[in-house]
Chain A
């Protein structure tokens, strides 16, 4: 079963704009992670936020976590064409089993 559910399913923006995608989950978690997948490639880890953290930054990435609402958001600032990819949230709810959502497809046009 898939715990995380990303929203929107697809997002199309222009270079330089910000991109925001959301993730909702169902059960309590130890941490939540975001991954990127370029077409035809494996997934690449972007950022991890623990259940006792509310916000985390990494370069142009900003992740928030609201455990009361069981939701997280990923913000990519000043998007570039190279950011075009699918983005997945993954929850770690115990035994470190990573459960992925269906993903958000981001298209950044030059």
Chain B
């Protein structure tokens, strides 16, 4: 089966510019996650969707970050304006079900963002 697709793989932008990342989860997966991973740290959840509804966005910096999941399939994550501290790898993951049933998450390769 096809995996989680993310694009672009790399992006370099200047601070205060905007950037968008795209994710196509595995077909049929209801749950989609966006994580931010700073070098040397573990992934930090930014937002979790269940179909096209938001389950958890408590750690999303909403003054600059936004995310949507159109028709419960693809998702985009946007940063506007970017700060130097946003330099990180942005990981998208999907899983078949949610709600404590406990299924594995499949991750994309990630987008490495460098803000200069």
Contact = CB atoms under 8 A, between A and B. Distances in A.
Contact of A102 (B42, B99, B102): B42
Contacts, number: 75
Interface residues of B, number: 30
Given A43-B93, A43-B107, A95 B102 contact: no
A59 interface: no
A24 B94 CA distance: 25
B19 interface: no
Contacts of B115: none
Interface in A47-90: 48, 50, 88, 90
B20 to A, nearest CB: 19
A99 B98 CA distance: 14
A20 interface: no
A109 interface: no
Contact of A30 (B56, B93, B100): B100
Interface of B: 4, 31, 33, 35, 41-45, 48, 55-56, 59, 91, 93, 95, 97-110
26 contacts: A1-B59, A2-B42, A4-B42, A33-B105, A42-B91, A42-B93, A42-B110, A43-B91, A45-B105, A45-B106, A48-B103, A48-B104, A88-B43, A92-B102, A95-B55, A95-B56, A95-B98, A95-B100, A97-B45, A98-B33, A100-B42, A100-B44, A101-B42, A102-B41, A102-B42, A103-B42
